[in-house]
Structure 1
Amino acid sequence: MSESISPDPDPPTGLAGRLRAHAGQRVIVGLTGGIACYKIAHVVSALAQAGVETTVAMTESATRFVAPLTFQALSGRPVFTSAWEHVDAHDPQHIRLARAADVMLVAPCTMDALARLAHGRADDIVSLLVAAIDRGRQTVLVAPSMNEVMYHQPATQRNLRQLAEDGFEIVAPASGWQACRTEGVGRLPEPPVLLAALDAALVC
């Protein structure tokens, strides 16, 4: 059974107007397997309403939280869940998608996904797309999302520093109620924060 998620109300008027200024630009949104995947439905919906061409890629674990069909309906575009889709195309799909993108957002980015990106892994569709992005001309935003203890682990902080050094832009996690029934730093920022980060990156 696929999930039914109602998009949030429109983003704040000023932000909605700024997003419409990016109509025709291309964004890749990559989801990894965290409960905060549901928030990205609101992000994709707002981008689509603004006329931003939004392509969604999901790791296998992300599809366990929200069905790809949800994002296909919201974006009006195919959702990529495997590096082996559309292999009959003359261009490798990850290269084609990465070259066309203006910005990529990885959200939620779990502790495991963060480690993969920091170590240059490219063994799922999201990390493969990140690897194919030319960060000299394209921005990759990474929005960590995890339990507070996991966020403060030395390995996580080390990986965040490595990503920043490698030219990624980190969208700092929010503090508040977490799925583990505790409060702390590590939750995915709300959709307006992610949309504002995308707006700033697209302006650049």
Structure 2
Amino acid sequence: MKKNIVLGVTGSIAAYKTADIANTLTKKGFNVEVIMTRSAMEFVTPLTFQSLTKNKVYYDMFEEITPSEIKHISLAKKADLCLIAPASANILGKLANGIADDMLSTVVMAMCNVPVYICPAMNTNMYNNPIVQRNINTLSQLGYHFIEPKEAVLACGDLGKGALADVDRIVSTVEARFHPL
């Protein structure tokens, strides 16, 4: 049976790597539904993900209001797993504090029994900021799963922890959730 993955893309230069994640998961037989934040769309377009997944890309909570379906609820209900890659400091703060003010944060808040995997990607100083670390700790304690960023030369030129984990590692972590060894 085809598993449904909600893939959240947030505003980070690493957003372009998420196209590879979406493409690989789709080719491996997963149904990938992409939700982008407005900031993510500054780095990569919805058309990229639509072309790779063959699914509509969601970003506007109020775009599809129909009497028969509330989209943020229906996406949450059909998901077998949620993957947020890259996860910005902004989305970490929203989720850790129960803020649901866009399509992605609202869908995640509606997921009570769905595993959520978060792949942080940001500048080293942002990642090491005590507030961001507190938000990560809070989310971990609440049962959210993290795929740690790697140390690398970042887009800003700094060397340190904050680069999005390798695409292969992210994909293999998702696959392992459904096919444990």
TM-score range, shorter chain: over 0.9
Which deviates more from structure 2 when the two are superposed, residues 48-57 or residues 70-79? 48-57
- Residue 84 of structure 1: aligned partner: 62
1:18 corresponds in structure 2 to: none
**8 Å Cα contact 1:38/1:66 also seen in 2:** yes
Instruction: Please list every run of 5 or more consecutive structure 2 residues that lacks an aligned counterpart in the other structure.
Output: none
State how far apart, in whole Å, the 2-side matches of 1:70 and 1:117 are: 26
Is 1:196 the equivalent of 2:172? yes
Distance apart, 1:85 and its partner CA:
2.0
**Partner secondary structure for residue 65 of structure 2:** coil
Q: Given that residues 102 and 202 in structure 1 are in contact (C-alpha distance below 8 angstroms), is that contact kept between their aligned partners in structure 2?
A: no
1:172 aligned to which of 148, 152, 170 = 148
Classify the secondary structure of the residue corresponding to 2:152: strand
1:75 paired residue among 42, 48, 53: 53
In structure 2, the residue matched to 1:65 is: 43
Deviations 1:62-113 (A, max 9, x none): 0110000000000000000111121125121011011100000011111111
Task: Find 1:122's aligned residue among 89, 100, 106.
Answer: 100
AA matched with 1:198: V
> Percent of counterpart pairs with the same letter?
35
> What CA RMSD, in Å, does the superposition of the two structures yield over aligned residues?
1.1
Tell me how far apart the structure 1 counterparts of residues 159 and 50 of structure 2 sit (CA, whole Å): 33
Please say if residues 110 and 146 of structure 1, whose CA atoms lie closer than 8 Å, have aligned partners that are also in contact. Answer: yes
Instruction: Map 1:79-158; keep pairs closer than 5 Å.
Output: 79-88=57-66, 90-134=68-112, 137-158=113-134
Map of 1:42 onto structure 2: 20
| Cα distance in 1, alignment partners of residues 94 and 151 from structure 2 | 24
User: Aligned residue for 1:12?
Assistant: none
- Quote the Cα distance in structure 2 between the aligned partners of 1:62 and 1:140: 19
Q: TM-score scaled by structure 2? A: 0.96
Q: Aligned equivalents of 2:130 and 2:42: distance in 1?
A: 28
Q: Equivalents in 2 of 1:167, 1:198: separation in Å?
A: 16
Which of 129, 149, 158 is the equivalent residue of 1:182? 158
The structure 1 segments of at least 4 consecutive aligned residues displaced by more than 4 Å after TM superposition are none
1:165 partner letter? Q
Alignment TM-score, normalising by the size of structure 1? 0.85
